[in-house]
Structure 1
Amino acid sequence: MKLNIYYLFLFAGVLAASFSQVLLKKAACRQYGSFIREYLNPYVISGYILLVGSTILNVSGLRGLSFMNGPVIESFGYVLVLLLSRLFFSEKITKRKLAGVGCILAGVIVYYL
Structure 2
Amino acid sequence: MEWMNISYVLAFLAVFVASVSQILLKQSAEIEHKNILFKFLNWRVILGYGLLFGTTVINVFAYRGVELKVTPMIESTGIIWVTILAVFFLGERPTKRGLLSIAVTVLGIIVFSL
CA distance in 2, matches of 1:18, 1:96: 18
Identical counterparts, % of pairs? 40
Moved over 4 A (4+): none
Unaligned runs of 5+ in 1: none
Render the CA deviation track for 1:4-45: whole Å, top value 9, x for unaligned.
110111011011100000000010001111111110000000
- The alignment of Structure 1 onto Structure 2 pairs a total of residues equal to 113
Q: Quote the offset at 1:61 in angstroms.
A: 0.7
SS in 1 for 2:8: helix
Partner amino acid, structure 1, of 2:86: S
TM-score (norm 2): 0.92
1:36-93 Cα shifts (integer Å, max 9, x gaps): 1110000000000000001111221111111012111111011000000000111112
User: What does residue 70 of structure 1 align with?
Assistant: 71
- One-letter code of the match for 1:22? I
The residue that corresponds to 2:82 in the other structure is: 81
- Aligned positions of 1:1-113 closer than 5 A: 4-113=5-114
Render the CA deviation track for 1:82-105: whole Å, top value 9, x for unaligned: 000000111112332211110111
